[in-house]
Amino acid sequence: MATNKNILISGAGISGLTLAYWLQKRGFSPTIIEKRRDLHEQGYMIDFYGSGYDVAEKMNLIEQLGEKSGQYPISKLEFVDDKGKPRASLDVNKFRELLEHRYFPLMRGDLETTIYESIRDEVPIRFGVSANRLKVHDEAVEVELSNGESERYDLVIGADGIHSNIRRLMWGNESQFKRFLGFYVVCSVIDNDLFDRPNAFYGYFAPKAQTTVYSNKQNKLALFFAFKSELLNTLGRKEQMEIFTRKFGTLGWMTPKLVEAAKRSDDFFFDGAAQIELEDWHKGRVALVGDACQCLTLLAGQGASMGMAGAYLLADELYKADGDYNVAFPAYQEKLKPEIERRQKEARGLAGGFVPDNRFGIALTYLFLKVMFMPGFRSLFRKQIGAESIIK
């Protein structure tokens, strides 16, 4: 009979929801707390494949995810120059073939919502609540919640992202563990009054900056910006807007119009691209999963996928150990951490092509896009994007 069945999960994101699904299936009793009031955020577009696809298949979610992916009838990502002239493209169908058709382009929020809908009637999920304090005892963890209540759980799992609250409470300030990668990202969703195409997907490079825009459902456009920078000591929203305008407001193509639209939007996200490097992912009865301990950054294109894989493996190790966290937590870390470290290193190597420094670097990126599906480059590209699943 399994012990330590009463488990608190902090974070109703992709990793936390996936973990709750598998814990519930394995006979545990998970509860989720989530500081957000709802799951209405869409986030940015992700390429969903590899380990996460395999986990979703085990969860019988492929049909639902396929339907959501079908709402984005995008055939190619077209890269344009300052004047809007096409310079290179990425064929989505060829990308799908490279991944043996086990691939979906999705908004991050679509994946999150799909997993949530699969457990909402099985697992208690409490929105607008977070942990203020943890007291770890020999036999349980006492959790003081933001609503003033105090509760006891056998185990606590932090699945609350790169700025993890649970990690802060147990391990300390995130600056100890965060490796800044030298650029910032801005995301926004705006009304589509700029493109006639229902399936627009464009990319634009300037030295040390990137702009991407793609059609979203309900006649919306999702915007993504990235720019190279030193670490900024910030930032309030006013400062973010000023920096954003300064970096992109005078660039070519349609970028100034997109910037002004993003600044008017209620959906606006600004953050540094960073990885989390933590020696141990567990401490006593508390463990971490997903970006809280294994953040790859969007450079790798695998954050959501590997977050699901980590959640699946953690639940599996707890099940195999009959709830003995002293066995399960180290086994989970030993199985996953070497792979995460390898993929983090590979992601850091992609930074130059993701936000090229100069016109020569942009030209090299265009060249790579033109040859990436050629026979001699296919296996290299598959390895680079982490196409191989770690889920057996």
pTM beyond 0.75: the answer is yes
The fraction of the chain above a pLDDT of 90, given in percent, is 64
**Which is it for the CA torsion 65, 93, 352, 250, positive or negative?**
negative
Query: What sections of the chain are H helices per DSSP?
Result: 14-25, 50-58, 62-69, 92-98, 108-119, 165-171, 237-248, 255-264, 291-294, 303-320, 325-349, 351-354, 359-371, 375-384
Return the half-sphere exposure (C-beta side, CA atoms, 13 A cut-off) of residue 197: 13
Report pLDDT for 300: 59
What's the pLDDT tens digit per position in 133-177? 999 999 999 999 999 999 999 999 999 999 999 999 999 999 899
Given the structure tokens 């990308």, which residue do they identify?
95
Instruction: Answer yes or no: is pLDDT of 198 > 80.
Output: no
Pair of tokens at residue 270: 């600004």
What's the pLDDT at 301?
A: 64
What is the per-residue pLDDT across 73-113, written as a single tens digit (0 to 9) for each?
777 889 999 999 999 988 888 888 888 889 888 888 899 99
Is pLDDT of 24 > 70?
Answer: yes
